[in-house]
């Protein structure tokens, strides 16, 4: 059964966000083996897991749709520069409009519809009560810039990467739920520049190999990978811009509250070549699951414990887990029979 969008819950202040039993079941659990290992772990972005799986559709719309769109609007109202597109990225933004509208209307016809007559397009988003007609490619025909317009209607952060000089440049994006990185800071950076803070991987040549692979991704052959971290409270917007609001929460984890307060934060990242601009669309779809919900799945509980226990020190520090990593491992150990 597919989960339907439910009423708006919050990712801040009173944190009313919660996962239904179905949402827990479809959570994209990232650890494939017991020992944590660094890897690029890319695979073709093809459907897997059958009906209702988080990987069933090209873009996953789930029960948190309305909540995430409301959260995005709050972030953008307060900080409009969390969405930006350099002038040369206009065509790439329209590529993204096309990719998102076509796949949402094909995959979720009950919620979204698209009619195209040449460059006259009609778009309806029944979930957000949006109905617009516009001229494809003409940014003045939309009520707001194309990236802003479409980004407010789809779950997940999106970056558009310009490809030149055998490299990728972060020249556009709508980033309201980042795992501690800033679009305004990274804007215009090359692939290795924006990955600068990542420990260990540079010397292992991972970025050279990844970049070579990414710049050769052809149209129609998207790839995905998973990334993860731990977040205290169900907070979507863990951006550096808001560090003063969430940084201190990492000191609030105790053995008593760790299960409900610490969330496994998983990003399903998809890289998809845009046909018209040759840019790369990089989508980062974030899922949050509290540890107490996670351990309802016995296999995940054991694996999570072992992955956390073997996590190398530099990664603990890079991911910002230093203050509560021990508490998490202690909590999870009770679910691991080998412990």
* 298-309 and 325-333 helices, crossing angle to 10°: 140
Helices (H), 79-190: 90-107, 146-151, 183-186
Cβ(278)–Cβ(166) below 8 Å: no
Site string for another protein, 218-237 (x = CB under 8 A): xxxxx---------------
Tokens of 138: 């003409």
Q: Which of 113, 278, 297, 333 binds another protein (CB under 8 A)?
A: 278
Interior CA angle at 152 toward 178 and 99, to 5°?
95
Q: Does residue 11 belong to the site contacting another protein (CB under 8 A)?
A: no
- Considering only the stretches 15-23, 30-38, 156-164, 259-267, report the one whose residues sit in contact with another protein under the rule CB under 8 A: 156-164
164: part of which helix (H) or strand (E)? Answer: strand 157-164
Q: Does residue 275 belong to the site contacting another protein (CB under 8 A)?
A: yes
Distance separating alpha carbons of residues 106 and 100, to the nearest angstrom:
10
Smaller CB separation from another protein, 221 or 248:
221
Nearest CA to 91 out of 58, 135, 134, 138 is that of 138
Q: Kindly identify the residues of this chain, within the stretch 88-127, that bind another protein according to CB under 8 A.
A: 88, 91, 99, 102-103, 106
Smaller CB separation from another protein, 63 or 95:
95
Q: Which of 48, 131, 164, 202 binds another protein (CB under 8 A)?
A: 164
Distance separating alpha carbons of residues 250 and 239, to the nearest angstrom:
14
User: Is residue 209 among the annotated active site residues?
Assistant: no
Which listed residue (12, 72, 99, 225) is catalytic? 225
Contact residues toward another protein (CB under 8 A) are 44, 46, 58, 88, 91, 99, 102-103, 106, 137, 162-165, 212, 216, 218-222, 274-278
Would you name the residues annotated as active-site residues?
225
């Amino acid at each position: 059964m597919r989960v339907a969008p439910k009423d708006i819950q919050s990712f801040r202040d009173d944190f009313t966000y919660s996962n239904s039993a179905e949402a827990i079941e479809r959570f994209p659990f990232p650890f494939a083996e017991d020992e944590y290992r660094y890897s690029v772990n890319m695979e073709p972005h093809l459907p897997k897991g059958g009906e209702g799986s988080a990987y069933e559709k090209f873009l996953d719309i789930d029960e948190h749709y309305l909540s995430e769109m409301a959260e995005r609007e709050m972030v953008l109202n307060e900080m409009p520069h969390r969405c930006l597109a350099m002038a040369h990225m206009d065509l790439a933004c329209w590529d993204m409009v096309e990719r998102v509208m076509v796949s949402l209307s094909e995959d979720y016809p009950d919620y979204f519809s698209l009619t195209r007559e040449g460059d006259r397009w009609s778009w309806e988003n029944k979930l957000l009560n949006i109905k617009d007609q516009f001229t494809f490619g003409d940014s003045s025909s939309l009520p707001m810039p194309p990236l802003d317009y479409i980004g407010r209607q789809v779950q997940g952060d999106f970056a558009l990467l310009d490809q030149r000089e055998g490299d990728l440049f972060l020249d556009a994006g709508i980033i309201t739920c980042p795992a501690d990185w800033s679009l305004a800071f990274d804007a215009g950076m090359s692939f290795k520049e924006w990955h600068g803070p990542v420990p260990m991987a540079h010397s292992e040549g991972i970025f050279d190999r990844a970049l070579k692979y990414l710049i050769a991704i052809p149209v129609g052959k998207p790839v995905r990978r998973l990334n993860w971290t731990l977040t205290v409270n169900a907070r979507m917007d863990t951006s550096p811009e808001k560090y003063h609001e969430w940084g201190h929460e990492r000191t609030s984890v105790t053995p008593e509250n760790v299960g409900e307060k610490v969330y496994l934060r998983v990003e399903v990242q998809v890289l998809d070549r845009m046909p018209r601009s040759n840019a790369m669309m990089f989508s980062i779809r974030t899922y949050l699951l509290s540890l107490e919900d996670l351990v309802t799945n016995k296999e995940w509980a054991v694996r999570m414990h072992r992955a956390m226990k073997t996590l190398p020190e530099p990664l603990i520090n890079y991911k910002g887990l230093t203050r509560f990593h021990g508490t998490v491992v202690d909590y999870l150990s009770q679910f691991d029979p080998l412990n």
